[in-house]
Chains A and B, each alone.
Chain A
Amino acid sequence: MTHPGEEVEDGPTSAREQQRRLVEEYYADLADAGGPRKPVAYMLVGGNLTEIVRSFGYEVVFPEIVALNCAIKHESLPNILHAEAQGYGLDVCGYVKNDLGLQELGGKTPFGRIPPPDLLVCSFSGCYVYIKWWEALAEKYGCPLFVLDVPYMRDERPRSEEIEYVVAQLNEFIALLERTTGRSFDRGELRRMLAHSRKAEEGWVRYLSAGRRRPSPIEAYFEAVFYMFPINVLRGTAAAADFYDTVDAEVTARVRAGEYPVPEEKVRLVVEGVPPYPSYRTFWDFFRRWGAVSVAATYPKVGGLFDQGFLHDPDRPLESIAEYSMAAYVNQSWGLRRRLIASYAKEFEADAVVIHGIKSCRSFTAGQGDLRDWLIHEQGIPTLYLESDHEDPRYFAPAQIKNRMDAFFESLDRRRSTVSLPMVGA
């Protein structure tokens, strides 16, 4: 049994070990990439075109993921400071500063050297900073830059004219790749990759759905972040597709053995927002102390709302890529985001919502205060808003965050005991 104040370790699991191995292999392959052997495309997570690019023989780098890996290993600050010395201000996105600082410093990371790009693919899906970031990289490296303009989602499903627009751009992108690589587009190869993607996505959705169980056998925020790597970085490969079989087996075994992320589930949470990667463990501990487990979260959906049915389809390759691109979480209007969070709270039987705002990320964060107001006053869901940064350790104030969390969980606990008393006597 876990009690507040007690430190808890997340024991290694077979899925976690496999994930670590996949990460190491990926970065080892990257360190060997570049030069004439294998061209490198830089891509963004939201709405990415990884299957198309891989079908033309590119290796793919996701600078956002490199940035978060740097931050979680406490290596982001030197990169950020270097970018600030180049002129990037305090208010610029931490991912951007980590990456541009890293690029200027030669691409060296704790997990290997990141090769420079031969191609820049900017999927403009949900974050305007994507464009500014890729413009800076294009200026530095002088390589081709393709901007995929992805319409903002304002309706529950994409409209036909939006899909037509994105598909037309995908065809133009494919023509660019044919010119650049001298290779012909292999539709069959793309379909094979999309079949791997589909399998991985279905496995990922099964994993996320497990949060509906009571108690939850998964940690849908802190643990899911680790399991996001294959779905975002290795999508389209057999390794990613198979990974979620391992996860599936592990979740089943946990349920059978009665092993849960926290030994005694006391609070079920929906978490909204990007984690504070430089203080990831500390932040997670602040939840575990109270027996709080995330049963659903929005951040694992930044790569796509697979759980809402936006899955790749080998039989409709470009159309399904277009739909997927629009369905990045932060490409959803606030109306859609609000409804999604409320539906998670209801379907996953959450007690509360925790919002983690990011100082330097306007896309995710601008309006989260209004979301809090809506959840509390119009949905009746207790909600806590916290703020720090996803990359910059200077903005994580542990004592202040812990105090606020302790007060919140304490009030939840009190509220539950006062509400439940009459029921006990009924």
Chain B
Amino acid sequence: MVSDVLAGADPDASDSPPVLELHGELEEFSRAAPLDVTLRLAREIVTDPTYPTVRAWTRSGRSAVGCFPVYTPQELLHSIGLLPVALHGGGENVEISHADAALGSFLCSISKSTLELALTARLAPFRGFVFPYICDVSRNLEGIFARVLPETPTYMLHLPQNFRSGATVRFLVSEYRRLAERLERAGARPYAPGPLAASIELFNAQRSRIAELAARRRAHPGQISLAESYLLRRLGGLLPREIHVPLLDRVLAELSERPVRSRDAIRVALVGPFCEQPSLDLIDLLEQVGCEVVDDELLPLYGWYGRIDPSGDPLEALARAYVESPVDIGVRAAPSTKGGAILDRVEAANAQGVIFLTAKFCEPALEDIVLYRKALDRERIPYLHLEFEERSTSYEQARLQLETFVESILFD
């Protein structure tokens, strides 16, 4: 029974790694440190399902809200005094003991592990949760959270899917107001335009640094690995942005000093992991076998839009930025054809092939792939499809498939 599970919940459950304790002001990330040290700490934090940055941040009474992928208006949450935290499931360190029974068996790992974290009190530091309507599982998960954590406010954010209507922005503004009101129970201040304008500028700064990091990787792929840049992006959803932005400034400065390594590799677009994230080992593997990822769908939140001008009505500007975003992933009914979209992406990134890396049971991704593949087949662009689950630990078969794929292009 769910209530029994919650009553006996132990956040230090045996499947968790040792709990990492951080300074209350997260000084570990505020002070200058060599990049390698920062990345090592980032790796520990990202793989720790007890959310050490959130535990540290909320110790002094501050509030954090967990946001399920792929998009939540973080700027809005920040402006009402909350730390928006990107939820990314439990990774390889969470064993599913209770969530299967509540959710069902044929579902993605991220939904199950996120629920497992809730049922085992490892999400206790959070004061609220937002589940955007990106798929039926994310939507339904909110309903389960509302029952199993009745004291913690949750909100199912209806992200619009009609991107052509003149009424969509107005509706989304009303959704955002409703979200802000709901989160007052999570310790939020009432919404006001002034603080939102300031928050939008802070997130503008964060996105510009992340875009700069991506540009550096494209220009000098040997200077920073995919896994390293990914870790720095993941930190962006876990740290207060006031800490993350200066951290990225220091990283960018240090990167200039790093030697540029060159090697034989094929240029690939990585399509599919827009919600559930592959493990760091799998991300590492892509580069080990000789893939240079020149376009990817990992953590799409940071590329949703460019700079938002907060002058005028900032809430409307935020809603408009979401609606007018060019992001075309499996959970957004972008007014394009899927076949055309994949070919455009391959051309823009000058990719030699596509790797579809999809979470098992992720229906939006699985359905898009059929259309993508047809278009790639027509243009004779090579591709490879791999499925992953959070708890996968052995990648020998994936390695073999990837190596064969790389060789087939390199020696073509």
B-binding residues in A (CB < 8 A): 86-89, 91-93, 96, 122, 124, 127-129, 131-133, 135-136, 138-139, 147-149, 151-152, 154, 159, 161-162, 164-165, 168-169, 172, 333-335, 337-338, 357, 359-360, 362-363, 365-370, 373-374, 377, 387
Contacts and interface: CB of A to CB of B under 8 A. Distances in A.
Given A139-B338, A169-B167, A357-B104, A374 B147 contact: yes
B358 to A, nearest CB: 9
A149 B160 contact: yes
Contacts of B139: 128, 152, 363
Contacts of A165: 167-168, 170-171, 174
B2 interface: yes
Given A161-B174, A377-B2, 12 more contacts: A87-B369, A88-B366, A128-B363, A132-B364, A139-B337, A161-B171, A335-B143, A337-B143, A359-B106, A362-B135, A366-B140, A373-B2
B364 A148 contact: no
A387 B103 CA distance: 13
The 7 closest A-B pairs by CB, nearest first: A334-B143, A168-B167, A149-B162, A363-B136, A165-B171, A370-B102, A132-B367
B60 to A, nearest CB: 33
B57 to A, nearest CB: 29
A335 B146 contact: yes
Size bracket of the B interface: 35 or more
A113 to B, nearest CB: 24
Nearest to A131: B333
B133 interface: yes
A122 B331 CA distance: 15
Given A368-B104, A373-B102, A377-B3, A139 B147 contact: no
A31 B378 CA distance: 33
A374 B141 CA distance: 15
A177 B143 CA distance: 37
A168 B170 CA distance: 11
Contacts of B360: 91
Interface of B: 1-3, 100-107, 111, 133-137, 139-144, 146-148, 156, 158, 160-162, 164-168, 170-171, 174-175, 330-331, 333, 337-339, 360-361, 363-364, 366-371, 373
A93 B164 CA distance: 27
Given A86-B370, A87-B373, A91-B366, A373 B143 contact: no
B360 to A, nearest CB: 8
B178 to A, nearest CB: 8
B167 A164 contact: yes
A335 B360 CA distance: 28
18 contacts: A88-B367, A91-B360, A93-B363, A128-B134, A136-B371, A139-B371, A149-B165, A151-B158, A151-B171, A151-B175, A165-B168, A165-B170, A333-B142, A338-B147, A362-B135, A367-B140, A377-B2, A387-B104
A152 B138 CA distance: 13
Contacts of A335: 143, 146-147
B167 A87 contact: no
B171 A367 contact: no
A310 B35 CA distance: 60
A387 B100 CA distance: 14
